[in-house]
Amino acid sequence: MTTLQKLADKLNRRTGSIAEARQAEQVVDLSQTADETLVARVQDGDHGAFDFLVERYKERLYATVYHMTSNHADANDLVQDAFIKAFTSIRSFKRESSFYTWIYRIAVNRTLNHLKRGKNRQQFSLDDIDNHIQSDPDFVELMSHVTPRREVGLNELQEKLNAALQKLSEDHRAVVVMHDVQGLTHADIGKALHCSEGTVRSRLFYARQQLQGLLADYL
Amino acid sequence: MNCRQTKQLLHDLADGRLTESVARDIQRHVAECSDCRVFQQRDRQLQQLLAVKRHETPGPSYFTNFLSDFHKRLAEANAPRPTFWKQLSDRFAFDPLVALRSGFAPALGAAFVVALLLRGSGLTSRVEHPNASNITVPHRLAAVPSAVDAPSSLLTVAQADFHTPRYVLDRIAAAPASYDVASIHF
């Protein structure tokens, strides 16, 4: 091999390695990737893959925690905490359930602990109500009846509802939020809260009875 | 089917989760029982009211910084914990140099001035005694060995001052002794 050939070969190799490095630097879009693949990547040390899981589930988790706390700032802190907890213990995640079920459980349990320690902020900071409510059949039917609730504004109704929910015990509030607001099944709630379906049903029954009493003026 | 059982199964009836025979029993009970009918109606309205919660949403910019905040908090959570002494000094914001400059030096100066004044006035003198340690007696008594039952060699008199009839008992090793002037007989 002549010196010229050797030089050309060396140049080719260097060009190849530069191309490889550039390829590695490119941001990989994993937004369409399945949870299992993302979790496997995070467990293998690709920490950036966790960002896609955060982006995917932040709003759903926020909604759950917000309905339980009725407070923006608490909800934000608790969801952040849940993601941090999930990230730091992702190696212990055995993939026996879906990632969402796992992090949902973390978020709900952290929220319940937070509420039971009495650390929640006492004042409400409620989210706005979106415009879709005007076309929600449940809401339309509710407002069609002649009752005091027609006289009060939507914001007042929202405040009364949140105040009534906050008067329930943490466990009762959790099942109402998960079942009646978010539409989870009894079985899923039982798994998330580590209790039987019977317990979930019983808590729901008593929570609804209590809510009926608290919101008697608006029913 | 009693009222309690009926009320507990009303939601399952609405969701179509009951067998035909149980569903028929509940419907029959509700048709006959006004209490359960009212309960059912109010429960339906409660579910409609809870629809408000489904439409509560944070503003469009609420999640803009969520990911960057998450990274920030994660970095804080993973940061090494400060040592005990670091935590302590942070808690009390203790900087030895600052403390020396702002507090210690004036205190030292004040102590020095007080010491000078005390030395100048010659208020007290110390007496070495085997039974009564650190007894401070006036110089008038200290000058008299028999008053404290000690050899004169152990008595030290800083200055001769006979104008201060004050006796201070700091600590007495054995039985308490009175150094009241009236109790001392020459």
Inform me whether the pLDDT recorded for B121 exceeds 70: no
pLDDT tens digits along B34-86: 999 999 999 998 998 898 888 888 887 889 999 999 999 999 888 777 777 77
Residues of B in contact with A157 (CB under 8 A): 49, 52
A187 touches chain B (CB under 8 A): no
Inform me whether the pLDDT recorded for B142 exceeds 60: no
From the list A8, A214, A194, the residue with the least C-alpha distance to A102 is A194
Interface predicted TM-score of the whole assembly (ipTM), two decimals: 0.77
* Residues on B contacting A at a C-beta cutoff of 8 Å: 7-8, 11, 39, 42-43, 45-59, 62-63, 66-67, 69-70, 73-74, 77-78
Question: Can you give the pLDDT of all 219 residues of chain A as single tens digits?
Answer: 567 777 777 777 766 665 565 555 556 788 888 999 999 999 999 999 999 999 999 999 999 999 999 998 899 999 999 999 999 999 999 888 899 999 999 999 999 999 988 766 666 777 777 778 878 888 778 777 766 666 677 888 888 999 999 999 999 999 999 999 999 999 999 999 999 999 999 999 999 999 999 998 888
Cα gap A87→A167, rounded to integer Å: 33
> Which tops the pLDDT comparison, B117 or A87?
A87
Instruction: Look at residue B172 in the predicted model and tell me its pLDDT.
Output: 42
Instruction: Look at residue B157 in the predicted model and tell me its pLDDT.
Output: 46
**DSSP codes, A149-188:** HHHS-HHHHHHHHHHHHHHS-HHHHHHHIIIIIT---HHH
User: Tokens 């109500």 map to which residue?
Assistant: A129
Cα gap A76→A66, rounded to integer Å: 8
Instruction: Look at residue B26 in the predicted model and tell me its pLDDT.
Output: 92
Instruction: Look at residue B143 in the predicted model and tell me its pLDDT.
Output: 47
Cβ contact, residue pair A161, B57, below 8 Å: no
The model's confidence at residue B160, banded by pLDDT at 50, 70 and 90, is very low
Cβ contact, residue pair B49, A215, below 8 Å: yes
Instruction: Look at residue A172 in the predicted model and tell me its pLDDT.
Output: 96
Cα gap A202→A14, rounded to integer Å: 70
Residues of B in contact with A204 (CB under 8 A): 11
Residues of B in contact with A150 (CB under 8 A): none
Reduced to 3 states (helix: H, G, I; strand: E, B; else coil), residue A78 is: helix
SS (H, E, C) chain B: CCHHHHHHHHHHHHCCCCCHHHHHHHHHHHHHCHHHHHHHHHHHHHHHHCHHHHCEECCCCCCCCHHHHHHHHHHHHHCCCCCHHHHHHHHHCCCHHHHHHHHHHHHHHHHHHHHHHHHHHCCCEEECCCCCCCEEECHHHHCCHHHHCCCHHHECCCCCCCCCCCCEECCCCCCCCCCCHHHCCC
Most confident option among A37-51, B93-107, B145-159, B168-182: A37-51
Which residue of chain B comes nearest to A87, CA vs CA? B74
A218 touches chain B (CB under 8 A): yes
Model pTM above 0.80: no
Neighbours of A141 (CB within 10 A): 13
Quote the tokens at residue A133.
């409510």
Residues of A in contact with B67 (CB under 8 A): 51, 54-55
Cα gap A104→A160, rounded to integer Å: 27
Which residue of chain B comes nearest to A86, CA vs CA? B74
Inform me whether the pLDDT recorded for B149 exceeds 60: no
H/E segment holding residue B136: strand B135-137
Inform me whether the pLDDT recorded for B170 exceeds 60: no
Return the bridge partners of A71, or none.
A125
> Which tops the pLDDT comparison, B105 or B165?
B105
Quote the tokens at residue A136.
């929600």
B-contacting residues of A 147-166, CB under 8 Å? 149, 154, 157-158, 161-162, 165
Reduced to 3 states (helix: H, G, I; strand: E, B; else coil), residue B75 is: helix
Which residues have C-beta within 8 Å of that of residue A100, sequence separation ≥ 6? A35, A57, A60
